[in-house]
Amino acid sequence: MPFVKVYIHFVWTTKNRYPYFNSKELRLKVWEHIRENSKSKGIFVDFVSGHDDHCHCLVSLGINQTIQKIMQLIKGESSYWINKSQLTAEKFEWQDEYYAVSVSESVLDRVRKYIKNQEDHHRKKSFQEEYEEFIEKFGFQKFQDL
């Protein structure tokens, strides 16, 4: 039996960064649904939180799980559930793109705290500023279609 412990910090936004989650109550409902639905699919969500227009999720990968499949399951099902439950006035969608970076076990608590404190964090820094920092910090490059 393999023993695997690989943590990934995922970040994804609402379509066009529209602030669908403009109430704390709605955010908590969506994050709890993501946690519970993921658990039912065998996805271990260590921590989930976010803000008006984006979500952060710390996941421990299982032995047969891929980043792409986890994102497909979490984003696809939660989008469907939000629309089915009529939680937003307009049709809800997640943006196609997302970030996924590995997290060393030595900084797990720091990442959990960062994800947990999104409300306070975004009083000081906009998501656009955070986005640009992620791009630079992790050396992401956006490739244009050729």
Distances (CA, A) of 67 to 58, 85, 100, 131: 12, 27, 8, 20
Domain assignment present for 144: no
Would 78 be classed as within a structural domain?
A: yes
Instruction: Count Cβ atoms below 10 Å from residue 95 Cβ, excluding itself.
Output: 15
Tell me if 52 is assigned to some domain.
yes
Judge whether 139 lies within some domain.
no
Give tens-digit pLDDT for 19-75. 999 999 999 999 999 999 999 999 999 999 999 999 999 999 999 999 999 999 999
pLDDT score of 128:
76
List the CATH number of the domain containing 87: 3.30.70.1290
Report yes or no on 1 lying in a domain: no
Provide the number of structural domains found in the chain: 1
- 3-state DSSP call for residue 71? helix
Residue 22 resides in a domain? yes
pLDDT tens digit sequence for 31-45: 999 999 999 999 999
pLDDT in tens, 77-104: 999 999 999 999 999 999 999 999 999 9
CA distance 97 to 142: 10
Of residues 106, 110, 5, 13, the one with CA closest to residue 55: 13
Which domain, by its residues, includes 85?
A: 6-134
